Structure 1
């Protein structure tokens, strides 16, 4: 399909996807090291950034002199998020190893659009966080292995916690505390909650689109100067539990849209006022969960 800018929609015209082949003048082994610089992997991807005219699904097949192969795949966030992309990639890999007839049949669903408000209503109600000119942002990739997470938890002061956090909650809290460095400046962290199976609506696991809701956790100046790691862990856990419980009551598409839109507007207006450090976390859709 193709994206239509003038009338924001996806035209399912069955024109196929863009496929590229590239040859790398090296072996694959150096790129399999866990400490490889992620910037070195950019050339294996067909596109570094997405634009209005970018294909929705470009694929680049990279051949190495040793016979190894790396497939770089970019898919537009307009049609799917990481959950569906992971499932598609996993089944594709299975088909290559054991044969196309022995893998699960993926029938992607486009039913999410039927649950949301019509296009005529969205421009008036949808909140989009404006990008400020000259706004400085920074991104960083962190890799935590299971043993490292266990070691962090063992050495942490976790007394007084009402519930044990998930690995995702604990790791992001550790990063949050490290980034604050004892500063009392207000800050906010955000996780994205996958709404598949979280509401009373029929949103299937194979549903295309972006059925997600941000979970915002705030730290205010009036909080204790001596706030400890376990206090931040509790903030993250309480906000996550509250959001999941709210989502579990949603049984109408309009209510789902309004809930997501309101939370984005609330955080956006707070961010626009300034004086706030914001940390947005993305996560591996398969290996981590709330």
Structure 2
């Protein structure tokens, strides 16, 4: 299969952004993120028996029209980031809209085992863009069969996972039933968390993988598999080692993967090594700040769980669930005490300095997890039904992404590791 882009254009807001909104300061949380890194996802829509090329062309027109309309509410996405000035110029220059043709049939691409990493990344704009690029880039992909894949890339400078999927849901609603049915978002995070001096934490950079190729594995946990993991984690619930709470779907899947990673490291090194697991935590509704639920921007912190082995160490599933729960509970407790921007900045600084310390200790394994679970991932109905599948794009760095499956009761895990680590990890999956 090949992807050929045949059209590029800018989609501007259907109404001019008022002068009072044209200079949007970014928050101290937005500050720490690179300006050229984008968050991307792809939505896949198979063709139905009634559709043909004419209808498909109309879909692209509908997407462009509704994108222009929704940009009046999500007006910063039609602007440009002014590097060094700590604000978004909401100048209505527009989002970029690409149209591409894909050889082959979408159904073949979606077959399990044929989810080709290289092709998948051609269905969405690259995750690294020049600083002057539009903050939103959309790629409309038309397969020969009439199936569609819509790739969306948003600048991480002002967008987190919540904002990404809230925007996509709002755009789909606009396309399907009108922009007047969309709840307007809020872009005033800087009023709660204004920009700060960040020189103390600028040096934090995840470990570089150098020339090592990163391999990717997709693991699907259906509802039954997750129920089984919960049962295993709860085996000792009445004993001293068992969890004192009901583990969530996310916790047991994260624990299953982290446990396999710990044991893979043990097989590789001949002994258990200290291991840290990190997870992004959405702070909306978790602080004392009066932040609206529809607040857009980067409003997350990091949960850090740790395993420090000793002579009596065991790595049972319920143990790993407990470590994750303890890390998350500690982070949520920190958030609950935050009542102003200085408190948020203090949480941010401590987490970043802790991560810097961990990454500089080479004998410690660090496993970075991110979750898109509970976002409206599969609600993106533009008028022709919900997507058959939603995926991420490949990133050349180690990590784990978790997202809901279409049914909502399962979880897909995308694990990225260097080749030798991936081989050890795959062997451990059958043993845990």
Task: Normalising by structure 2, report the TM-score.
Answer: 0.61
Map 1:5-154; keep pairs closer than 5 Å: 5-37=83-115, 39=117, 40-96=119-175, 98-100=176-178, 103=181, 105-118=182-195, 121-131=196-206, 135=210, 138=214, 140=216, 141-154=218-231
Equivalent of residue 178 in structure 1, options 243, 251, 260: 260
Q: Secondary structure at the match of 1:179?
A: helix
- Deviation, 1:255, is 0.7
Displacement of 1:38 in angstroms is: 5.2
Q: What's the RMSD between the two structures over aligned residues?
A: 2.4
Distance 1:122 1:223 in 2: 44
The farther-off stretch of 142-151 and 15-24 is 142-151
Corresponding residue SS for 2:221: coil
What SS does the corresponding residue of 1:226 show, helix, strand or coil? coil
Residues 93 and 166 of structure 1, relative CA distance in 2, 3 Å threshold: same
Following the alignment from structure 1 to structure 2, what is the Cα–Cα distance between the partners of residues 94 and 84? 15
2:313 and 2:277 mapped to 1: Cα distance? 19
Q: Does the alignment pair 1:188 with 2:188?
A: no
Change over 3 Å in CA distance of 1:22–1:227 after alignment to 2: closer
Q: How many residues align?
A: 285
Compare 243-252 and 49-58 and name the one that shifted more: 49-58
Could you tell me the TM-score, scaled by structure 1's length? 0.88
Q: Which has the higher strand share?
A: 2
Answer whether contact 1:22 1:62 (CA < 8 A) is retained. yes
How much does 1:19 deviate? Answer: 0.8
What CA distance in whole angstroms lies between the structure 2 residues aligned with 1:161 and 1:14?
52
- Partner of 2:136: helix, strand, or coil? coil
* Corresponding residue SS for 2:305: strand
Deviation string, structure 1 residues 35-64 (Cα, Å, up to 9, x no partner): 442513111112243342332101111112
Q: Which residue of 2 aligns with 1:257?
A: 345
**C-alpha contact (below 8 Å) 2:232/2:318 kept by paired residues:** no
